[in-house]
Amino acid sequence: AAGVIQSPRHLIKEKRETATLKCYPIPRHDTVYWYQQGPGQDPQFLISFYEKMQSDKGSIPDRFSAQQFSDYHSELNMSSLELGDSALYFCASSIGTLLPSKTQYFGPGTRLLVL
Amino acid sequence: SQKIEQNSEALNIQEGKTATLTCNYTNYSPAYLQWYRQDPGRGPVFLLLIRENEKEKRKERLKVTFDTTLKQSLFHITASQPADSATYLCALERRTGRRALTFGSGTRLQVQP
């Protein structure tokens, strides 16, 4: 079965650079969530999109922005990178944010290292 | 403030025994509680979901209980196997509004052969 695809899987950037992470949800899933997981930490919710509109916002820094495109894939844009941005970034997808709880299916993550 | 607590110490058990993991929460009224498994460097994998009006849910060797009075969920793995070794995260989802998950810090389970 198709799973959530994230690219790139690994990314190394320097401080103050920008990075773009991509997420391709499971086919027919219309909701995408972004989470950040620091070393030894639990995943922290950043932002979510439903039907290409932002549906919820968590602890996403102002330096980050994201969007969901017409094909439902999503991109997380990170600017002015800081050392503390080094983490695993997970994308998850589900069907219908307005319906009773739906399972979120997580991608393999993008490991970002900021030097 | 809202808090989700899982035992931060690793749980070591012998193969074949039942592993029991605890998730406690405060200042939260979740509609749903989910349990995920996470292996190092990989994304969380969904295991079970239990609703606020359900007391217990089972799936193969897994069992989850949900006590909204105690604000606690217990996650059991019976007949544990070394392959069950992983970090197990509980996650809460609210009734309305934000549907994103709020995760606990996870408990690492190590099953010894």
What's the average model confidence in pLDDT over A23-48?
92
b/e sequence A8-47, b meaning 16+ C-beta within 10 Å = eeebebeeeeebebbbbbbeebbbbbbbbbeeeebbbbbb
> Measured between beta carbons, which residues in chain B are less than 8 angstroms from residue A88?
41
Cα distance from A110 to chain B (closest Cα, Å)?
Answer: 9
Query: Residue B8 — φ and ψ, nearest 5°?
Result: -75, -20
For the stretch A41-72, pLDDT in tens is 889 999 999 889 998 888 899 999 999 999 99
CB atoms within 10 A of CB B95: 12
Rounded mean pLDDT, B55-64: 95
Nearest by CB to B43, which of A42, A103, A106? A106
Q: Is the pLDDT of residue B93 over 90?
A: no
Contact A109, B41 (CB under 8 A): yes
- Decide: B11 and B108 in contact? Cβ < 8 Å: yes
Q: Residue B94: which pLDDT band, with cuts at 50, 70 and 90? A: confident
Q: Note the pLDDT of residue B97.
A: 60
pLDDT at position B14: 97
Of B43, B97, B105, the CB nearest to A108: B43
Interface test with B, best of A44, A47, A101 (most B CBs within 10 A): A101
Residue A2 pLDDT level (bands cut at 50, 70, 90): confident
Residues of chain B found within 8 Å of residue A111, distances taken between Cβ atoms = 41
Confidence label for A99 from pLDDT (cuts 50, 70 and 90) = low
Burial class (CB in 10 A: 0-12, 13-18, 19+), A4: buried
Judged against a pLDDT cut of 80, whether residue A37 lies above it is answered with yes
Which of A68-77, A101-110, B6-15, B38-47 is the least confident region?
A: A101-110
Cα–Cα distance for residue pair B85/B15, rounded to 1 Å: 10
The vertex-A61 CA angle with A10 and A22, nearest 5°, equals 35
Q: What is the pLDDT of residue B28?
A: 77
On average, the pLDDT of chain B sits at 90
- Does pLDDT of A100 surpass 80? no
Q: Is the pLDDT of residue B77 over 70?
A: yes
Element spanning A58, H or E: none
> What is the DSSP annotation of B32-78?
EEEEEEE-TTS--EEEEEEETT-SEEEETTEEEEEETTTTEEEEEES
Arithmetic mean of pLDDT over chain A: 92
| Contact in structure between B109 and B85 (CB atoms under 8 Å) | yes
Q: Which helix (H) or strand (E) covers residue B100, if one does?
A: none
